[in-house]
Structure 1
Amino acid sequence: MSMRRTRTTVTVSSDRGVFMISVAAELAEMHPQTLRMYEQRGLIEPKRSPKGTRLYSHEDVERLRRIQEMTNDLGLNLAGVEHVLRMEQELDRAKRRVDALERRTEELQAEMVSQIDAVKRELRGGELVPLKHTHSLLPHRMPPAEPEPSRPRRIPIRRDGEQPAR
């Protein structure tokens, strides 16, 4: 009788807390107390189980490795690490905002092109005469009058529903 082995693969979201502190510390090659200290400083925020156990995600472990790289390889202190992480967060927010603005710009440009095309279609069937052919339709120009002294002009403004002044 041959035993058949089955293999089950589980895919877990990279931000889901799956590692207890001892496993996360081992994966990040740190002491568990270091993880607790980083949490107190706000450098990392592990999820919590219903009973309050810290649960670290793959993203958390990668962040811990980055922190270790900045402190060990680049010589940053934790205040420097905090500053770098905060700047990266701000840069990420700015990139998302720029992406959203670029998408909106593309939408508006497409809308403008559509509206311009609609106006062009309307004008093709209309009775507009190209400007170069209007000279025969208009009376001869009169010489310009003497310019009046400049003074502000009053333009009557009418609000919706208001009758014109007489």
Structure 2
Amino acid sequence: MDTVDENSPLFAIATAAELAGMHAQTLRQYDRLGLVVPQRTAGKSRRYSMRDVVQLREIGRLGGEGVSLEGIKRILELENQVTSLQSRVRELERALADELVNRPGARVFAAGESGVVPLRQGMRPRRQTAVVVWRPER
């Protein structure tokens, strides 16, 4: 069974336009300009996802603040790039955490009297507990 998420193409152009508070012709223009490019059915009909509708609303908000369509396009590209990079960072963090947990015999290093010394995972360096008394020569 397919799962439905924010990227699932659910809405026909009329529904997406209504949800975004725009005219369907505006959505067609944004598609031509590459601002919001919906997925297509086998019959070439546009199908918009909830993410597309959110982007359309953002375009409307930015346009209302006086940002040009080229400016809006650049903002959306940068936001999409940030989202993609954040996802990649999370993926790499999970992979690193898995590697650290699953790597048997991993070594840790500590500073010792003789320099850097390796330690087995879960071990602590031995501390010198001897008391040294210094007396100046008379």
User: Which TM-score tier does this pair reach, normalised by the shorter chain?
Assistant: 0.5 to 0.7
Q: Partners in 2 of 1:80 and 1:38 — Cα distance?
A: 13
Q: Give the number of the structure whose residues are more often strand, by fraction.
A: 2
Deviation at 1:87, TM superposition (A): 0.8
Root-mean-square deviation (CA, aligned residues, Å) is 3.0
Match of 1:39 in 2: 31
Match of 1:95 in 2: 86
The code of the aligned residue for 2:25 comes to Q
Large movers: runs of 4+ above 6 Å: none
Q: Partners in 2 of 1:64 and 1:13 — Cα distance?
A: 17
Q: Partners in 2 of 1:108 and 1:51 — Cα distance?
A: 46
Assess, with a 3 A threshold, how the Cα gap between structure 1 residues 63 and 112 changes in structure 2: closer, same or farther. same
Deviation at 1:111, TM superposition (A): 5.3
Structure 2 residue runs of 5 or longer lacking an equivalent are 109-118, 122-138
Aligned length: 111
**C-alpha offsets along residues 34-62 of structure 1, whole Å, 9 cap, x if unaligned?**
10110001111112222222122222211
Q: Partners in 2 of 1:40 and 1:18 — Cα distance?
A: 20
TM-score, with length taken from structure 1: 0.55
Range with bigger deviation, 33-42 or 50-59:
50-59
**C-alpha offsets along residues 109-138 of structure 1, whole Å, 9 cap, x if unaligned?**
435674339x759xxxxxxxxxxxxxxxxx
TM-score, with length taken from structure 2: 0.65
Match of 1:53 in 2: 45
Q: Partners in 2 of 1:13 and 1:47 — Cα distance?
A: 14
Alignment of 1:70 with 2:62, yes or no, is yes
Bigger Rg, which one: 1
Assess, with a 3 A threshold, how the Cα gap between structure 1 residues 106 and 67 changes in structure 2: closer, same or farther. same
State the identity as a percent: 35
Structure 1 residue runs of 5 or longer lacking an equivalent are 1-10, 122-166
